[in-house]
Each structure stands twice: as structure tokens, then as C-alpha cells.
Amino acid sequence: KAGVTQTPRYLIKTRGQQVTLSCSPISGHRSVSWYQQTPGQGLQFLFEYFSETQRNKGNFPGRFSGRQFSNSRSEMNVSTLELGDSALYLCASSSGLSLTGGAGELFFGEGSRLTVL
Amino acid sequence: EDKVVQSPLSLVVHEGDTVTLNCSYEVTNFRSLLWYKQEKKAPTFLFMLTSSGIEKKSGRLSSILDKKELFSILNITATQTGDSAVYLCAVVKANAGGTSYGKLTFGQGTILTVHP
């Protein structure tokens, strides 16, 4: 079956602009998580959505937001971009069950690489 | 604050060598530990460990968790150039409600380079 699909794969923005990234999870998966990956900080959790509800949130400023649609597709938005927002943004999907239930490892997409100039 | 620390940060070996990658953690309400392999694209799932002392194996890769000493190791035997990648360790913790929702705390990764 198809994997996690993220669009766009690459984009360049300037400071102050906003950006919207999209993620389509594996068919049947209801949970979508977003991560930011940078050389300095590694992979950091942004937020997780399940059935259109945000269930968990990381320690990022309010400029980072997301949503999930009824078909489980998710978008994340970053407003008022800063240079430090340049990163690889990874989306991961899972069934949404507890990760300790043995059925919930995350499957990652290939990411959207954002460059802020 | 939750912490996941991997060592070494980078490692260069030759084909055929055996490597051991380390992951130590300090988290409250630990539930499980996961290993991923990342080759310039999407991290791919390797193992999930929840019970102490039980080794998980997949071909030349194996991993074990020690919940008393709060660490895990990932072993790769008879390394090949295709094993060159970043290996990521991540920990899952339970929320207040007793379940965990998609939030992994990652270590900084170990960059493994295997030369022919």
C-alpha cells in the first residue's frame, strides 16, 4: 500500500512569509504526527492529530499550527517565518493506537525541506 | 526534562566489522524504545522494545533493552556499505491518561559510515 506522502518536497520562503505543508497518511491510519528535523536539534515533536483532534503538542511557539481533515490528511502551517525555521519537516502516520500496544510504530514520509531566506 | 542520548555520534568502519550503537534515556513514565534508520530521507522503523532483556533480531541487526540501567544497544554484524545511515533512537512515554499519542523523543542520532 502507498506510504506517507508529503507535499511539497522542497520550498523556499523569505522571512515573514507563511507556509503550509501537507501530509497524506497511509490508508487506514488515523493518527498523524509532525516533526521538525534540524542539524542542531535533531528530530523534535511538533504535534499529533487523531480523528481531527490535536491530542498532543510539543514545545513550539504558536506560529506553528496544524489541523487534520475528516479523511485523515493533515496540514501544518508556520506563520511569520524566521531563519531558524529552516528544516526538514517530517510527517508520520500510525494507526493511532497506543505505541505500547504493539501496533503503533510510526511510519514517516520523506519530508518537506523548507529553506527560509 | 526528558533526555535521550546516543553514542557515539559518528562511527566509521569497514565492511565486515561489527558495530554497537548505544542509547541511554531519562524519561518519566517510560513505555517503549524504538530504533529507526535514516538514509537522507524518511526514517524507517527497525525495532520497538518494551520489555527488558528480550533481544529483537532482524537479519544482521539486533537490539536489546535494559530498563534497570535505562539504555538500549543496537548491534549490526558483518556490516555492509548499505548500512551507512543515521541510526535514531526514540523513546515513548505515557501521557497522564496512561497512553502515548504519536510523540517520540529522539536522540541526536549516530552517523554510521561503512567503507568497502
Question: Kindly report the CA angle at A107 between A65 and A9, in degrees rounded to 5?
Answer: 60
Is omega for the bond preceding A39 within 30 degrees of 0, making it cis? no
B25 versus A1: the higher-pLDDT residue is: B25
Residue A74 is predicted with a pLDDT of 98
Q: A56: pLDDT confidence band, cut at 50, 70 and 90?
A: confident
Residues of A in contact with B97 (CB under 8 A): none
> How many other C-beta atoms are found inside a 10 Å radius of the C-beta of residue A78?
25
Of A45, A117, A42, which is closest to residue A86 (Cα–Cα)?
A117
* Beta-carbon separation of B103 and A42 below 8 A: no
Taking residues A83-94, what's their average pLDDT?
95
* Beta-carbon separation of A45 and B92 below 8 A: no
Q: Any CB–CB contact under 8 A between A108 and chain B?
A: yes
Taking residues A2-17, what's their average pLDDT?
95
Q: What Å distances lie between residue A115 and A14, A15, A89, B108, CA to CA?
A: 8, 10, 11, 21
CA dihedral A111, A114, A115, B2 (to 10 degrees): -80
* Beta-carbon separation of A90 and B45 below 8 A: no
Is B22 in contact with B63 (CB distance < 8 Å)?
no
> How many other C-beta atoms are found inside a 10 Å radius of the C-beta of residue B102?
24
| Beta carbon pairs, A and B, within 8 Å | 80
Amino acid at B87: Y
Q: Any CB–CB contact under 8 A between A45 and chain B?
A: yes
| Ramachandran category for residue B53: left, alpha or beta (phi over 0 → left; psi -120 to 50 → alpha) | left
Is B89 in contact with B106 (CB distance < 8 Å)?
yes
Residue B40 is predicted with a pLDDT of 79
Residue B103 is predicted with a pLDDT of 81
Taking residues A77-91, what's their average pLDDT?
97
Distance from CA of B85 to the nearest CA of A (A): 15
Percent of chain B with pLDDT over 70: 93
Q: Any CB–CB contact under 8 A between B7 and chain A?
A: no
Distance from CA of B31 to the nearest CA of A (A): 6
Q: What is the pLDDT of residues B75-97, one digit of tens each?
A: 999 999 999 999 999 998 876 66
What's the rounded Cα separation, in Å, for the pair A35 and A90? 5
Q: What is the average pLDDT value for chain A, to the nearest integer? A: 90
Residues of A in contact with B88 (CB under 8 A): 43
Is A103 in contact with A96 (CB distance < 8 Å)?
no
Burial of B81 (0-12, 13-18, 19+ CB in 10 A): exposed
pLDDT above 60: residue B43: yes
Q: What Å distances lie between residue A87 and A49, A84, A105, B79, CA to CA?
A: 21, 8, 23, 30
Q: For A88, which residue in chain B has the nearest alpha carbon?
A: B41
Would you call B15 helix, strand, or coil by DSSP? Answer: coil
* Beta-carbon separation of A106 and B45 below 8 A: yes
C-alpha cell at A102: 504493539
Q: Any CB–CB contact under 8 A between A58 and chain B?
A: yes
* Beta-carbon separation of A3 and B104 below 8 A: no
Is A6 in contact with A111 (CB distance < 8 Å)?
yes
Taking residues A27-43, what's their average pLDDT?
92
Q: What is the average pLDDT value for chain B, to the nearest integer? A: 91
Residue A78 is predicted with a pLDDT of 98
Distance from CA of B116 to the nearest CA of A (A): 27
